[in-house]
Structure formats: structure tokens, C-alpha cells
Structure 1
Amino acid sequence: MGFTEMPSKERRLGDAVENFLETKRKKKRPEQTIKGYRWMIKKVNRALTEAGYDPYPNKWTEDTVNFLLDDVYCESQPGVVRREFSILNSYLMFHGNDIKEKMELEWQEDERKNVHWLTFAQARTIEQEAKGFERIVVHLELHIGLRRVEVLRLTVKDIQMGYFNVLGKGRRGGKWRQNPFDPETNAELNHFFELRDMEIRKARAKNPAVVVPDNLLIYERGGELFPYKRTAVDGMLKRIQERTGVEFSNHVLRRQFAKELHMSGEPISKISELLGHKDEKTTKLYIGIDMDQKVDSMNRLAQWRAQQTAQMGLPQNRGIFDEASKVSGQSGNHHSIEPDGPFSNVNNLWPFVLAAAC
């Protein structure tokens, strides 16, 4: 009597993917689209397997989804997350798993929210309006540069004399780094631990045998203490948004941290280390270049060219100001334009710009 060989786990997982894709093929989805679905689902399955999660679709739990959001998609634009999770949800539902539906996840509507920076004034407004536990979350992301998942993973033991031990992305493969305090950190921690101790006292009043988690962020409910989850942290920031009218996310605060470091003159290499980036190219995306910086660059270039021209004894390139000086009766030096003349307002130069363009 022969024995039927049981299919391997990899084969069963592959069949689960292909069976789902076949339903899309029957709905006349283009093969190129189906190919994209396959690539995306396999990418997610590899990440789950490497992190020690069961990738089979009917085994996904809330922890599985949170891992993907906090580690795999944490730096993706909201539009990408929304689209890919829509496909993943169809994949799960096909296999009888409605965990994503039960979690009632909310997505940012505007994709640009994940790629903009705050103004300096907006960042300070957020800090001033943060209350209670909100203060430490804002401080850790805006002043220390932590990811949301890193904030949630922080334990009391990770707080050292003058620095945090930070466990980076990856359930098992996350790398540790050390991020130093900034001048305000001690005061923020003192305020936070007063609130944390209040939560512990409330729990012990109801349940003297309550177990206190090592997690830094904890809350009391029914005499028990629980670590904060990503939805609770997101809720904190949402309340600050409602009070201030400033739109931002956990990731925007972290990007702002990088931006302000760059504006203060810190080199890319140091910023990259503080952010826990493997590649400085990623750090450069965080920093970005705004219009004011572009204008400053152009002004510095013009000054350098003028200096080089003067040193070489060459005539200045007067360009459009030649025409302006002819009309105003002044010399070719654009600094001598009459204060109240026809070119004292830059808008009066537009006729010459248009003439040159024609």
C-alpha cells in the first residue's frame, strides 16, 4: 500500500496564492495586474516567514497585521499601504480570514501627508498642545527620532543614563542602536513617569497582585495593566491634530526630526545613524529640499559667480538689467536702479522678460 506524499508548507502556501489569483483571472484582470498581485503577496509572505510569523492566510492574526504595518510598511506612502492592504484583505477573505475587517483600520486619505514636513512653528505648536501621555510620544518621535514601533517596543530597562537603547525594525532581526537624550528629555521623562505611576497605583488599588509590564507605555483597565498598541498611539496624535488643526502623523514627526537636524548643520552620516537607516539614500529622502533652500542655493551661486568674475576682471553679466538701466537712465549696474523708478518693483521687469521670451 503506497503513501501519498504530503505537500510541503511552501507548496501549500504557493497554492493558496495561486487559487486566489485564479479568481482574479476569472474576473478578467490583466495578466500584468495578476503578476503584480503575486509579487506583492509573495513579498509579504517572505517578510512574515523571516520574522517568525505563520504566513498561511488563515493563520493571520491582529499581531500579524500590526507587524506588517509597523515593520514592513512603516515607511511606505499611505496610498501604497491602502492599495496593497486592499489586495491582502481580498486574499485573506478568500481564505476565510476576516481579521483585517475586524480591526477596522483607518487610512490617511491624502498620500502627501506622509511626505511633507512641518514648519518650525507647527512643530512647536504640536509640542505645546500635547498633554498627558501624548507628550512623551511626541517627544520620542520629534526629538529622539524614533519610529512608532520603536516607541511601542521601548521598555523601562531601555532607558539608560543619558540615552535610549532602541530596538529597530524587524520582529527578530531588528538591530539595536543608542539614541542620546536631548536637553528636554529628562524633564519629559519625569513628567511621564508620574503619569505611569498613577496608572500602576490605580491598577493595584483594584488588583494588588497586578503584573506590571516592562513596556514603557502602559495603561490600566479593570485592574490590569496593558502595553499600548499602535491604534492607541495613532489616537493620541489624532486628538492633537483636532486641537491644533495641524495635519501630521508619527512618520511626519520623525521626518521633521531629521529635517531640523539637517537645518542645524548636522551631516547626513550622523542623521542616518540616529534614524537607524541602513542607507544614507533613505536619509536624504527624509531631509528633502524646500523652495527656500533652493532659492538660497541660487543666491549663493550668483554671489560666487560675481566674486569669480570680479577676481578675473571680467565685465559683470548684467542681463535683463541692461534694459532696465537704459530706461531709467542709469548705468548698467543693477544696484543703481532708482528706488522709485519703473524697475523698483520686480513686477515692472516682466515686459522685458516677455519680450526676451518672444
Structure 2
Amino acid sequence: MNDPDFDRLTRLAAGIFAAPIGLLTLVDVDRQWFKSHTGTDVTETPIEDSLCVHAIAESSGEPMVVLDTLADDRFRSSGLLIGGDPVRFYAGAPITVHGEALGTLCVLDRSPRQSVSPQHLRDLRDLADLATSLFELKDEARVRARTTAELIKEEWRHALTLEAGKVGSYVWDITNGSVVANDIMRRMYGFDAVKSLSVEEFIAAVHPDDVAKVRAAIQAAYDRGVDYVAEFRVKSGRWLSGRGRVYQRDANGRPLVMMGVNIDITEARQAADHTRHLLRELNHRVKNTLAMTQSLARQTLKQSPDPQAFIEAFSGRLRTLADAHTLLADRDWAGIGLIELVDTQVGP
């Protein structure tokens, strides 16, 4: 597919030389193909028919001119034809991109010439340099486009990761107090999805009892360079865990930018509170069980002073206590009736 940007150069080169054909060639191992072609429908030729190979092989970098190919031993047997007629005149300037000769900008004619204007050759050289710059710009544009596409993908992956983890992220410009936050962060604090925000608005959304420790954690990050770490409530009652770091300071060490995340830890704190409650309840019941066992031992010893009789009686009472414990556990400690308990001990 022709490139209109390169087509302009080949048309201009052909016009300068009043030549029927202008080409922008790229030389490969076994062929040369035409990135742009004016005055011919041919898109590639075998490498053995290429005049451009000789043009890019010359170390001077200046245009190569062949006034009459039939008078030049190198090209007398060339198979390059124009409309069935052999190429008689050729002028080509090499195109070098990043130090590598890729091809030429050249003009061809069916008729030989006696001479070529030095100005025309300078113009051809300038056009070839323009082609070089155009290749470099287009290559840079492709690299930038790929880089941009990768960055967009990475941003989406980052956003999806934060969304999946329910992580609120922010960037705080300390110099002006503005905060850029993702949607999750905004929802945590009850802010509108599009409203511009300041750090004081975030502080105002913190529960009054926790504002002091949040400010103290921020100040520590300012003064000592430690990470900002705080657990606090927002006014909705939910608990958040905040993490952040000053990522940029000025020449005097003053903080400029802080970045960080917030995570909703309400359920985790509720689970921890529930676990502590269960442990306290377990501790209470273990103490009661030990006290009851101690009491059983004392009562049994009073009634059965003989060691063997004591062991048999005490073992029976422990089994009864264990059975009662099992019944209570099966009913989530909701209680059992005395008759039911007696039936388990004296029933068949």
C-alpha cells in the first residue's frame, strides 16, 4: 500500500528531473520493493535487477547517476524495464535511517541523458534526507503508539486490580492541596464521582475522634520520611486503613506529592471483635468447667473416701458432665431441659 507522504516525494523528484518514473525503494536480501512508485505499477523487482544496490553501496552518501545504462558495464545486462523498454537513465540518493542504508529515492527514464544539473542532484539529496526524516518520524510515532497502547492496558489492569481488591487510591498534590482519587476512594468517603477534591475535604469526612491521629500520621510522613499509616473511621461509621508515602520533595526537603491507598477494613475489624468476644466467652466457660470439676471432686471425695470407690464415682460424674457439655454444644449453648439430661443418663 502506497503512503501518500512518500508519494509526494517521488512525484516531486520525478518532476524535478522531468522523468517518467520516481521510486522510493527498500532493498532486501533477494529483492527490492517500492514503498512509493510514480509512473509505474511495478511494486518490486529481483535484487539482481537493482540499480539501487549500487547507489546505497557507495560510501559517500551522495546521489549516484547513470546517464546511460547501456554504456555502463555494471548495468548493460540489467533486466529492469519500463513499459517493456529498458531503463536508460538513473539517478538515486541513498536513504539512511539510524545509520542503516535502507534504499533510495530515485528517478528513471527510458532515454539516456547527456548530463544532469548539479542543482537537481542537490534537490534529490535533500528529498532523500526528507524521506529519511519521514521514516524516523513514522517509526517514532509507531513506537509511541505502541507505548501508549501498553500504558493504557497497564492502567486498565491497574484499575481492575484495585477494583477487584476494593482498594481506593489517591495522588495528593501537597503544594495546592488537591487530591486525585479513584472511584473506590471517593465512595469510601461518600464523595461525588466527578467533583474535584481537596485534602481538607477528606479530613473533614474522618470521624472527629480519629482526626488527630490521622493528622499525626501525615505529619510523621512529612517530618521523618516514614510511611503514612493509620486506621480510622469515616463519618459513615466504616473503618479504613490508610497507607501512603511522600514520593517527591523539593530541594529543601519540603514534601510535594504523596501517593497512597485506602482499604475498607470494617468487616475485618468486626470479625476480629467477634473473635475476641468468642475467646472471652470460651475463657469464661473453661473457668466454669474447671470450677465445676473441682467441686465434683470435692463432693465425690466426701461421699467416697475409698480410693477405688472415688475413682468409679468421679469417672461417672465426669461422663455425665461431658454428656451435658455435648448436648449444649449441639444446641449452640441454647440450653437443655433437666428431664432430657436425666433421660440421657438413666435411659436404655
Given the two structures, how large is their TM-score scaled by the length of structure 1? 0.20
Structure (1/2) with the larger helix percentage: 1
Q: RCO (CA 8 Å, sep 6+): is it higher in 1 or 2?
A: 1
Given the two structures, how large is their TM-score scaled by the length of structure 2? 0.20
